[in-house]
Structure 1
Amino acid sequence: MSDAAKSFGFDTLQVHAGARPDPATGARQTPIYQNTAYVFRDAEHAAALFNLQEVGFIYSRLTNPTVSVLQERIAALEGGVGCTCTSSGHAAQIMALFPLMSPGDNVVVSTRLYGGSITQFSQTFKRFGWEAKFVDFEEAGQVSRAVTKRTKAIFCESISNPGGHVTDIPRIAKIAEKKGVPLIVDNTSATPYLFRPGDHGANIVVHSVTKYLSGSGQAMGGAVVDIGNFDWSASDKFPSLSQPEPAYHGLKFHETFGPLAYTLHGHAVGLRDLGMTMAPQNAFYALLGLETLSLRMAKHSENALILAQWLEAHDAVESVTYAGLKSSPYHRRAKKLYPKGTGGLFTIRLKGGYDACVKLVEELEIFSHVANLGDTRSLIIHSASTTHRQLTEEQQEAAGAGPSVVRLSIGIEDPADLIADLDQALSGAA
């Protein structure tokens, strides 16, 4: 991102960052480059691209002009130096750890994660020889003690899915800095409009672009943003970035590319070998969504607070987890870190238990029962019977997705209509 771009406001960056009129046609909107390969100027140009001596386009598994605009825009909004977009949010999590981890290494992970992420970290990563050490991030001492010589990263969500818990990122960032490992923050629920983890000490930010960044439930994607504030050569913990890379004639990524080392490794090695590439069409949809991110997130937050306050007073509701409520244990932290609002995601616990939750999702009319969040439409899901059903009840409760809990993703509809829909459905569930 240029120095001039850094001075632009968020609303300007979400529309313009990374994009320029198409040089061939003058088209103002970023074209969809539905293309696989790119013609080299000559043999010398081709060699320079493959040797990483020149930046350009070779093959769309590595780089694509439409995806490149999205990468630059997300990096600009997060205040990062570079970004690698992937085929999904889960792919982004693997891509974020890939340059850091070797068999036998571990990552310290918050217990408050999306259920699919818990499964990915606790089960799938074992096949790579990676270990996930789950810790309650409200207990800073536990986080610190969990870090060992084989720990390569600390991972958490800024606002947890599904519970809407607010992680104390500045506190966790200090632990990561002291231990000499990067802090990776999933910022999907908050988005950079409400919170930028890098401004509070985080080193890498991941997103499920599928959610709020795209905003309309129409495109899959993920993103890994390097904030550019971690020294990969400060120790011998990260040889993929600090030591010679055999596939590129002994090139040392950090020595050669400096702050861009992690991002370029993501493309030159990660996408090359793992192939978790974002489709140009999906990048185009995400770019359209990003143009209205600030407008949507303001409305999501406004609606969520109205509904959370109403639900908190409802006879059928035992508790509400929204951090914007004064009753929330995270309210003071949220006021400090999230002055623009705390997003559209939270859970409610019903007095009627599991059966009442199932009945509620079946009775709703405006709310859609789907395994997604961050849509302009209001969504609901009973996590214990869907996204978190593979976990034990103890794990479900730790993740904020117990049997009597439903997750709400509040959209941008008229809040009065949403309240009416919830009221009739809660009555039916009771």
Structure 2
Amino acid sequence: MSDGPSYGFDTLQIHAGARPDPATGARQTPIYQTTAYVFRDAEHAAALFNLQEVGYIYSRLTNPTVAVLQERIATLEGGVGAVCCSSGHAAQIMALFPLMQPGCNVVASTRLYGGTVTQFSQTIKRFGWSAKFVDFDDLDAVRDAIDDNTRAVFGESIANPGGYITDIRAIADITDAAGVPLIIDNTSATPYLCNPISLGATLVVHSTTKYLTGNGTVTGGAIVDSGQFDWSASDKFPSLSQPEPAYHGLKFAETFGPLAFTFHSIAIGLRDLGMTMNPQAAHYTLMGIETLSLRMERHVENAMTVATWLENDPRVDYVTYAGLASSPYSARIPAVCPKGAGALFTFAVKGGYEACVKLVDSLEIFSHVANLGDTRSLIIHSASTTHRQLTPEQQEAAGAAPNVVRVSIGIENAEDLIADLDQALTRATA
């Protein structure tokens, strides 16, 4: 697309990053199913390997299909660049990789996906990193948790599983004052509902597996670079501000400016970690993004209808959907996600753990899967699955108590979803 007019979201989700294939004129982005690329000559190859020229070397690093997806996601998020990788979990490690060193920590919200809590509390210890978990509604606690070894603050725009909405601007003010980047997982909201960069986020991560693809077919992740953080303002981020031995002393921040993080994530992150997105996955996600706004509008509409019905059902203790007037997070919707509170939330079933299990087993339209963001409505009992590895205290803090189920509301007819929940609740609470 040209750099002329400012296009709307619906136009950009179809056209951003995509151009007719120069060889064939193909309108849809082809799947470039290739491992390597032929260099024009030895000088061209040397320039690519020295990062003096942008191009394709090897598909662990760059691929034309993936490149289109990267540009499209970066455009929709308002970033300067993006890097796609093999999964949402890979994206989280890729986001931290240029920032952290042994002995450093990340301050993370207590309201995170259970797998992220496990990754941050257990797995990253093997790199010599650590995490401090803090209630992001307690701004003083967030501020106090940041110390001289903190290299990032991490939260979710719409938290999984409870659908809680983070006050991104307030957290960004704290991280700005501390001189550390803010990383926001925007998976549950998507750039259609929330734009974390405009609210002060430094980096945005996605599990593209979810709403961006929208059809439950492939896994993937993305890291979007705002280009707004000064990596040379302190000595905290030597990977970006200091000479890189593998590239003859090149300084990424000095050489690439706002794109320093993006280039480092490709030239070193993908090169050495190898968390590569395959071109077929990128193709599926590109096709999914073409209808993102249409799907999200229906997701939000259905979620509000179903959540309202559940809140008024006597078999349900409470519903956490932020779109409900009763939610303590409803006041944040206009500033954080003005087009709606997403379609992910939890509700507590009277009868506790056993009733939740019976509910899940009795549903017919809802699919019992460890996923979210599909066109289909999905349900899971987090305490026995996605959050099973957490302590009871961590489960409660994350909104995944034993009496709670998580739902991802799809784009089916809302009345059919309500009827399915009605019959399953009858069986579960009989």
- List aligned pairs for 1:165-176, cutoff 5 A: 165-176=164-175
Partner residue of 1:206? 205
Q: Secondary structure at the match of 2:89?
A: helix
Deviation at 1:414, TM superposition (A): 0.2
* Aligned equivalent of 2:156: 157
- For residue 73 of structure 1, what is the aligned residue in structure 2? 72
Cα offset for 1:2?
6.5
Give, in angstroms, the shift of residue 337 of structure 1.
2.2
Aligned counterparts of 2:110 and 2:3: Cα–Cα separation in 1: 39
Q: CA deviation at 1:334?
A: 1.4
Aligned to 2:403: 404
SS at 2:98's partner residue? coil
Q: What residue is the counterpart of 2:272 in the other structure?
A: 273
Cα deviation digits, residues 75-134 of structure 1 (max 9, x gap): 000000000000000000000000000000000000000000000000000000001000
Q: Which amino acid aligns with 2:313?
A: H
* Matched AA of 1:210: T
Q: Distance in 1 between matches of 2:194 and 2:337?
A: 6
Q: Give the distance between the partners of 2:130 and 2:336, measured in 1 at CA.
A: 31
The separation in 2 between residues aligned to 1:385 and 1:185, in whole angstroms, is 26
Instruction: Name the structure 2 match of 1:87.
Output: 86
1:341 alignment counterpart: 340
Match runs of 1:9-48 below 5 Å: 9-48=8-47
Aligned to 1:370: 369
Report the Cα offset of residue 339 of structure 1: 1.8
Give the aligned residue type for 2:4: A
Are 1:419 and 2:421 counterparts? no
Counterparts of residues 268-307 of structure 1 (less than 5 Å): 268-307=267-306
The AA in structure 2 aligned to 1:257 is F
> Which consecutive aligned stretches of 4+ in structure 1 deviate over 6 angstroms post-superposition?
none
**1:178 maps to 2:177:** yes
Contact 2:165 2:336 survives alignment (8 Å): no
Once residues 419 and 108 of structure 1 are traced to their aligned partners in structure 2, the CA distance between those partners, rounded to angstroms, is 39
Cα deviations across residues 356-390 of structure 1 (Å, max 9, x unaligned)? 00000000000000000000000000000000111
Q: Does residue 327 of the first structure (1) align with residue 326 of the second (2)?
A: yes
Other structure's SS at 1:4 match:
coil
Partner Cα distance (1:354, 1:221) in 2: 32
AA matched with 1:33? Y
Output the amino acid matched with 2:290. E
Output the CA distance in 2 between the equivalents of 1:71 and 1:374.
20
Cα displacement (A) at 1:3: 4.0
RMSD of equivalent CA atoms: 0.8
SS of the residue 1:425 aligns to: helix
Distance of 1:102 and 1:337 partners within structure 2: 32
- Per-residue CA deviation, residues 43-88 of structure 1 (Å, 9 max, x unaligned), is 0000000000000000000000000000000000000000000000
Q: CA deviation at 1:335?
A: 3.1
1:183 aligned partner, one-letter code: L
* Counterpart for residue 234 of structure 2: 235
- Aligned-partner Cα distance in 1 for 2:245–2:87: 29
Q: 5+ unaligned residues in a row in structure 1: which ranges?
A: none
Post-superposition shift, 1:351? Answer: 1.4
TM-score by length of 1: 0.99
**Partner residue, 2:195:** 196
Q: Distance in 2 between matches of 1:381 and 1:3?
A: 44
> Could you tell me the TM-score, scaled by structure 2's length?
0.99
Percent identity, please: 74
Matching residue of 2:246:
247
Residue ranges of structure 2 left out of the alignment (5+ in a row): none
CA offsets per residue over residues 284-323 of structure 1, 9 Å max, x none? 0000000000000000000000000000000110000000
Equivalent residue number for residue 4 of structure 1: 4
Deviation at 1:18, TM superposition (A): 0.4
